[in-house]
Structure 1
Amino acid sequence: MMLCKSLLLIIFSLFAAGSVAGGSDFDNVLAVGELWDIPSIDTSNDDGHVALNDKALVTETLVGTNPDLSLKPVLALSWSRIDDLTWEVALRDDVFFHDGSKMTADEVKFSLERAAELDSKAASLLMLKSIEAVDPLTIRIHTIEPNAILPAALHYPSTAIISPSSLDDKGEFISPIGTGAFMVESFDPRTHVLAVARNDKWWGGEVKLEKIILRPITDPNTRALALENGEVDFTVDVPYSETDRIDSIEGLGVEKYSIPRIYLMAINLKHAPLDDILVRKAISYGIDRSSIARYVLFDVGKPAVGPFMPDFYWTNKSLEEYKYDAQKARDLLADAGWTDSDGDGIVDKDGGSLVLSLLTYPNRPGLPPMAEAIAGQLNEIGIKTDVEVLESGAISDRRKSGDWDLSLAAMSTAMVADPSYYLSFSYQTGGAFNHAGYSNPGVDGLLEGASESQDPEERLSMLNEVQSIVHDELPIINVAYYGVAVAKKDYVKGYQFDPTAHDYKLNPEMYLEK
C-alpha cells in the first residue's frame, strides 16, 4: 500500500539514525558522502533525478551508454527511426516497478510526457509532439522537428521511467517508484538524507549491497574528514591537495579518473567591455592553464582547448590552444584601448579602470582555488578581478539579475552521448546553459541542421564548425578538463567508474568486504 506523502517524508528510522550518523555500522550498508544537496526526490527536480538515477540507483532510463559513449539498451531493447519525425522503441518484457506492477508502454509514455512537461532540458532534448503506445511493449515517439539525437536523449536522467503510482490522485509527487536495483526506504526533509534498500526482484540480476545511505556533504574538506572519521565509506572530490595524503592512510584509497566535464568561465556579453572580442581574447591568453592543472588541480584534470576531451570522436582536433602569453594579452587590451595610464598596474580607459567580478561555488574543490589563481593571473595583465564564492542558488540569482561579469563552473559535456547536447544548451540562442547571452545566427543554423540531418558525417562536420566558431568568439573560455577523485574505504569492493555519469555513478555489483 502506498505511504502518504507526509508519512514518507517524516520516516527516518532508528537504522538511519545510527548508521547515517556514524558510517555503515552494518554489513553491506554503504554510507556515501554526496557532494550536492538533495532537496527533493522528485524525478522532475534537477538534483532529484540525478541522485535517484546515478547515485541511489532507484530509477533507470530506456537507453544507457558504454564507456566509449556509444549507446546501449537498458529498459529499451532497441530503437529505430521510422521517418524524419518518428522513432519507435521496443521495451523489455521482464521489468517490474518497485510496487510489483509491470512496466509497459503506458508507464513509459507517462514518464516521458511528464519529463518533457516539467523539465525544460528534457523538453529541449526530446522535442516531443506526441507519444503513442502501439502495443504493451512498443512506443512510437513523434517529434515536432527532426531529432537525430532522440536515442541519446533517452539516456538523460530526468527521462527515467517511473510508475504513475509515484503521484497521488491530485497529481502531486509522493515518492519515486522506479525499476532500479534499489528502492526508496526513507527521505529526511530536514537533513535531506536519502536511504534506499535493495530490490531483490530487480530485472538486472543480483544486487549485493543491502542499503545505500546518501548523505549530502557539500564542503570538500568536510567530505574528506567524514571519510577519515568513518562517517562515510565512499565520497568524491575531496580537496585535490589532500588526495595523496588520504591515499596513504591505511584502509583508505583515492582513485583519479577523467570524465567528460569542463571547467569553464562564462562571460557576460551584455557587460562592456566583455562584449569586445579583443578583451575576451586577452583574458583567454592571460590564463595559464598548464600551471592551473599542475598546481591548483594537482593533476586531477588537464589543460583544455575546446569543450570536449581530445579522445572523443566528435572533438574538433584542429582547434588551436590559447597558450598562455601575458604580453600578447596586454597587447590585445591595448588594441582595445585599455592601457595603464596612471601606472597603478590596472588598465584603464576613458577614466575608468578595468575591474571584473568572478563568481564560483564551493562544492567542487577545484573551483575556489582555480578562481583565485585566474584572478591573480588576470591581475598580472592589468585586469583587477574580484572573486566571490557563493552557493549555486545565489549565483543563479546573480545571473538572472545580470549582476556579474565572469562565472567559473564545471559543466558536464556528455550527460547525453552526443555533441549537440552540450553545444546546443551552451551556445544556441536561448540555450539552457547559455548564461553568456551568446547569439549567433550562423551557429543556430548549424545546430538546427545537425539536429535534422540523418547523415553522421554531415552532422559531425556541422558540429565541428560550431566548435570552431565559438572557440574563436569566446562567449565561454575553456580552462581545464575535469578529473574526479573517488575516495573510499578499502573494503568497498566492486566499484566500476562510469565516465558518462554526473560526477559518479554507483553500480549494483558493489559490496562491502569487512
Structure 2
Amino acid sequence: MRIANALALTLALGAPLAVNPANAEPLKVAGPWEITGIEPAQTGYVFSRLQVAETLVTTDKQGDLVPGLAQTWATSDDGLTWSFTLRGNAVFHDGTPVTAETTAASLKRSLAGVGVLSQAPIAAIASEGDTVQITLSKPFSALPAYLVHFSTIILAPSSFDAAGKIVQIVGSGPYKVKALTPPARLELAASGAWWGGKPGIEEVNYLAVGQGETRALMAESGEADVVFSMLPVSVDRLKVNPKLDVQIATIPRTRILKVNAASPFFDQIEERQAISAAIDRVGITKVILRNADLAATQLFPPAMKGWNVSGVQPLEKNVEKAKELLAAAGWTPGNDGILEKDGKRFSVTMLTYASWPELPPIATAIQAQLRQVGIETKVSVANSSEIPARHKDGTLEMGLISRLYSIVPDPVGTLLQDYGKGGSDWGSMGWDNPEMQGIVQELAATSDPKVRAPLQTRAVEILQQELPSIPVTWSELAIVSSKRITGVEVDPLEVNYGLSSIRWAQ
C-alpha cells in the first residue's frame, strides 16, 4: 500500500497526540501484511500475531511449547489419542465461554479446510467435559506443534453463518475487532474479559504498508508507534534516532528460490545446482541485508538446532561450475549469450512480492547474477497471493519467497507440507522424492531425539543435493518502536507480538 504524503499517513492512523497514559490514544502499528480476507488458513496469522484469536498451544520466546487455551495436554500410551484440557476462564468476545464443544467444532472446521491440520493423520475430534480429544490414525508426535499454527485459531460459533462460512472474527484474545477495512486497516479494542488480564493499552490500530521506506518514515514522524519488518538500510538510519528503539532478532525464516522442477528449465538436478552456484549470497547479504552472516549455505539457519548440518557441502558461488553444470544439462550459448536447448531459450520469469521489502532488490541482484551464466530472468513484483495461485495453475517458473520454518514450531510440520507428495504452495513444485517423503513421515511419528537426529541429517542432505527449493539468505526481524512506549519484545517465531504487554512510558 502506498501512502503519498504525511497528511494521508495522519488520516490513516490518526494524528499523534500528547503523551498522556490516561487518554484513549490507540497504539499505532504498521507492518507489511495485508488482510486479504478473514479465512484463518489465509490470514489467520494477522489475528494471531495481534492477539485477537488464540490457539490451544502457543510458544515462548525460546520456541518451546507452552499453554494457550489448553492448560495441559497428554497422549495415550499408544500415541493415538491426545487430550487437551482447556483453561476454565476463557471467554469469547461475544461473551460466550470457550468450551470443549465449541473448540472441537472450530478445530473440525480447520481440519476440513486447507490449513496444516489436513497434513496430520487425524481420525476424529471430539469433546468430553473440559477436554478436547483428538484421535489419530497413526502416532504423530508433532500434533501439539501443529496446534500453534494460525489456521487453528479457535473461533466462537458466532464467527460463522448458517452455512458455516466465516463472516467475522470472534476470538478470545485480549483484543477484539472493532473495525476491519481490507486489505489495509484493522482497528482493535480491549476485549474486557481476557483470561490473561487487561492489556496495557486499550486500543490498537494496525495499518498494512507495503513499502519499507514508507514504514521507516512513519516511525520517524511518529505516525506509527511500532513498525515491523524494516530494510537494513532503514534500520541503520533509525538506530541513531534518539526517539526510537530498534530490536533485531534472527528468525527461522529463509529466503528461497521456489522453482518449478517439472519445467524444462529446472527438471534436471544439474540445472538447479547451476542456479545455486551462480548466486553470490555473500554479496547479496553484505550489500542488501548488511550482514554477511545471513548468506544461506543451506536451507536451515544455525539457530535451528539439529537442522543445520555442519557436514554438508555448503552452497556457495562458483560461476565456472554453474556453466559446466548447464553445459552438462544440454544448454549451449546462443548468438546473444542466452543459453538454448532444443530451440528453447533459457528465459524465465521470477515472481516475487514487496510485503517483505528486501525481496525485490534481492530478485534484481539474482537477475544480474544469472545473466552471467546465460540465463535471462524477468523479475515480476506482484502480490504474495500470486505465488500459490501460480503454483496451483502450474504457470509458476521461479519465485523468490520468504519461508518461515517455525510456522509449525516443529520444522517437521513445514517439511511434511513443503516436501511431501505433491509439494505445497510455498514448498516444492514438480519435485517428487519418495525417500524424503518417507523420512518426514518417520520424523512425524517420533519425538525421540536419538531416532530423529539421523533422519534430520539425511533430510538436509537430500534438500542440499537436489535443491527443490534453492536457499538464498537467512533472515532477521527488525522491530522499530517509539520511546513513548515500553514492553516491546521480538518474537523470533512470529507467533504472538505481545501487544497486550506494551504500556505508555511514564
Distance 1:151 1:437, change over 3 A: same
Question: Aligned partners of 1:362 and 1:71: how far apart in 2?
Answer: 32
In structure 2, the partner of 1:256 is 248
Question: Aligned partners of 1:349 and 1:279: how far apart in 2?
Answer: 12
In 1, are the aligned partners of 2:348 and 2:377 still within 8 Å (CA)?
Answer: yes
Question: Aligned partners of 2:342 and 2:160: how far apart in 1?
Answer: 60
In structure 2, the partner of 1:313 is 305
The answer to whether residue 479 in structure 2 is matched with residue 486 in structure 1 is yes
In structure 2, the partner of 1:64 is 58
In structure 1, the partner of 2:5 is none
The letter for the 2-side match of 1:485 is A
Question: Aligned partners of 2:186 and 2:52: how far apart in 1?
Answer: 11
The letter for the 1-side match of 2:316 is K
The answer to whether residue 371 in structure 2 is matched with residue 374 in structure 1 is no
The letter for the 2-side match of 1:59 is A
State which of 242, 246, 253 in structure 1 corresponds to 2:234. Answer: 242
Question: Aligned partners of 1:328 and 1:170: how far apart in 2?
Answer: 58
1:336-351 alignment runs, 5 A limit: 336-340=329-333, 342=335, 344-351=336-343
In 1, are the aligned partners of 2:210 and 2:357 still within 8 Å (CA)?
Answer: no
Question: Aligned partners of 1:383 and 1:458: how far apart in 2?
Answer: 42
Question: Aligned partners of 1:480 and 1:24: how far apart in 2?
Answer: 40
Secondary structure at 2:75's aligned position in 1? strand
The letter for the 2-side match of 1:363 is S
In 1, are the aligned partners of 2:298 and 2:315 still within 8 Å (CA)?
Answer: no
In structure 1, the partner of 2:316 is 323
In 1, are the aligned partners of 2:184 and 2:209 still within 8 Å (CA)?
Answer: no
1:435-474 alignment runs, 5 A limit: 435-453=428-446, 455-474=448-467
In structure 1, the partner of 2:154 is 161
In 1, are the aligned partners of 2:282 and 2:292 still within 8 Å (CA)?
Answer: no
Question: Aligned partners of 2:367 and 2:187: how far apart in 1?
Answer: 41
In structure 1, the partner of 2:15 is 22
Question: How far 1:45 sits from its partner (Å)?
Answer: 4.3
In 2, are the aligned partners of 1:24 and 1:232 still within 8 Å (CA)?
Answer: no
The answer to whether residue 98 in structure 2 is matched with residue 103 in structure 1 is yes
In structure 1, the partner of 2:119 is 124
Question: How far 1:339 sits from its partner (Å)?
Answer: 3.4
State which of 32, 38, 41 in structure 2 corresponds to 1:41. Answer: 38
Question: Aligned partners of 2:228 and 2:386: how far apart in 1?
Answer: 24
The answer to whether residue 134 in structure 2 is matched with residue 141 in structure 1 is yes
The answer to whether residue 47 in structure 2 is matched with residue 52 in structure 1 is yes
| Cα offsets for 1:126-183 (capped at 9, x unmatched) | x322122221x21211123321110111111121222212234453434322221111
Secondary structure at 2:431's aligned position in 1? coil
In 1, are the aligned partners of 2:248 and 2:490 still within 8 Å (CA)?
Answer: no
Secondary structure at 1:282's aligned position in 2? helix
Among all aligned residue pairs of Structure 1 and Structure 2, give the percentage whose two residues are the same amino acid.
31
Distance 1:162 1:300, change over 3 A: farther
In structure 1, the partner of 2:197 is 205
Question: Aligned partners of 1:177 and 1:212: how far apart in 2?
Answer: 16
Distance 1:351 1:172, change over 3 A: closer
Question: Aligned partners of 1:226 and 1:38: how far apart in 2?
Answer: 20
Question: How far 1:473 sits from its partner (Å)?
Answer: 0.6
Alignment TM-score, normalising by the size of structure 2: 0.90
The answer to whether residue 271 in structure 2 is matched with residue 279 in structure 1 is yes
Question: Aligned partners of 2:444 and 2:41: how far apart in 1?
Answer: 26
The letter for the 2-side match of 1:370 is I
State which of 402, 405, 419 in structure 2 corresponds to 1:427. Answer: 419
Question: Aligned partners of 1:45 and 1:428: how far apart in 2?
Answer: 19
Distance 1:159 1:120, change over 3 A: closer
Question: How far 1:90 sits from its partner (Å)?
Answer: 1.6
State which of 197, 202, 216 in structure 1 corresponds to 2:208. Answer: 216
Distance 1:386 1:174, change over 3 A: closer
In 1, are the aligned partners of 2:155 and 2:169 still within 8 Å (CA)?
Answer: yes
In 2, are the aligned partners of 1:419 and 1:463 still within 8 Å (CA)?
Answer: no
In structure 1, the partner of 2:397 is 405
In 2, are the aligned partners of 1:33 and 1:214 still within 8 Å (CA)?
Answer: yes
Question: Aligned partners of 1:300 and 1:72: how far apart in 2?
Answer: 34
Ranges in structure 2 where 5+ consecutive residues have no aligned partner? 1-8
The letter for the 2-side match of 1:347 is L
| Cα offsets for 1:459-514 (capped at 9, x unmatched) | 33223312211210111101111112212222121011111115x72332112227
Distance 1:350 1:133, change over 3 A: closer
| Cα offsets for 1:46-101 (capped at 9, x unmatched) | 11x1111112x111111111222221112212211112321111221222222333
In 2, are the aligned partners of 1:207 and 1:508 still within 8 Å (CA)?
Answer: yes
Question: Aligned partners of 1:235 and 1:480: how far apart in 2?
Answer: 22
The letter for the 1-side match of 2:394 is G
Question: How far 1:413 sits from its partner (Å)?
Answer: 0.3
| Cα offsets for 1:215-272 (capped at 9, x unmatched) | 1212222222333333222112233322212232342333222111110001111211
In structure 2, the partner of 1:76 is 70
Secondary structure at 1:392's aligned position in 2? coil
The letter for the 1-side match of 2:53 is T
The letter for the 1-side match of 2:283 is S
The answer to whether residue 400 in structure 2 is matched with residue 386 in structure 1 is no
In 2, are the aligned partners of 1:279 and 1:336 still within 8 Å (CA)?
Answer: yes
Secondary structure at 1:177's aligned position in 2? coil
In 2, are the aligned partners of 1:28 and 1:511 still within 8 Å (CA)?
Answer: no
Distance 1:404 1:159, change over 3 A: closer
In 2, are the aligned partners of 1:263 and 1:482 still within 8 Å (CA)?
Answer: yes
In 2, are the aligned partners of 1:240 and 1:300 still within 8 Å (CA)?
Answer: no
Question: Aligned partners of 1:95 and 1:370: how far apart in 2?
Answer: 45
